[in-house]
Amino acid sequence: MKIIDLSHLLNSNTPVYPGTEQPIFDQANTIINDGFAETKITMFSHTGTHMDAPSHMLVGAKSLDALNPSAFYGNAICIDCIDVINATISVEHLLPFKEKIQQVDFVILRTGWSKKWTKKEYFDGFPTLSITACDWLTGFNLKGIGIDTISIDKMGSLTLENHLILLKKGFVIIENLNNLQSLEYGIFTFSCFPLKFENSDGSPVRAVAITHN
């Protein structure tokens, strides 16, 4: 068994969606002064490698704490989208993977954009699903979609249609994934458990892939 970390490191320099405050990590207590170490963390719920709940954009929809823990664990496939045309992941690009998508709980989209993490280029021009592709994916019995970019929608989108299509289906969305180049093309186990806080519209996750090769 091999466990592959798919999460970015959280710190005070973690890139955040434009307009969001940077996370703050304060050393509240130290072993030297207090006999124990404790850190005070202040950050928004959609910081770093994180998950969007249906309640992130839909009134009355389920928050993460209302979902069964099984919603955050299952089989997955990683689809390479590095060379998509015009930065658009189309149905045609996904069709060759239809049979495997039917067998899994999560579809992970590898765009290669995590290499730009901490750079200005990370925030624009990244590949996104077409609206038709989002609709097509909701026809499968999936739990969620993951991607190694800051958003499932294009930066600056006013309608956020991709989010809405997927969240209305009850999917969770995992954004800012990392290290997807370490994944092979077969089916693997995916785990992305969020913090359990009340009315959680989103949460940082420690996403990992588990392979049995």
Residue 55: per-residue pLDDT: 98
Which pLDDT score is estimated for 167? 98
Whole-number pLDDT of residue 185: 79
- Tell me what pLDDT residue 184 has: 83
Enumerate the domain spans of the chain: 2-11+45-211
- Of the candidates 197, 154, 191, 206, the one whose C-alpha atom is nearest the C-alpha of residue 72 is 191
Rounded Cα gap, residues 124 and 151, in angstroms: 10
Cβ atoms of 81 and 128 closer than 8 Å: no
Q: Average pLDDT across each block of 10 residues of the chain; the chain has 213 residues. List them in order.
A: 97 95 98 98 98 98 98 98 94 97 98 96 96 98 98 94 98 98 92 98 98 80
Residue 2, both tokens: 């091999």
- 2-11+45-211, CATH topology level: Glucose Oxidase; domain 1 (3.50.30)
User: What predicted TM-score, i.e. pTM, was given to this entire model?
Assistant: 0.97
**Among residues 96, 74, 85, 88, which one has the least CA distance to residue 171?**
74
Beta-carbon contacts of 14 under 8 Å, excluding residues fewer than 6 positions away, are: 8, 22, 23, 47, 48
In a 3-state reduction of DSSP, which class is residue 58? coil
pLDDT the model gives residue 175: 98
Write out the E strands in the chain. 2-5, 24-29, 38-42, 50-52, 73-80, 88-89, 106-110, 128-129, 144-147, 172-175, 188-191, 202-204, 208-211
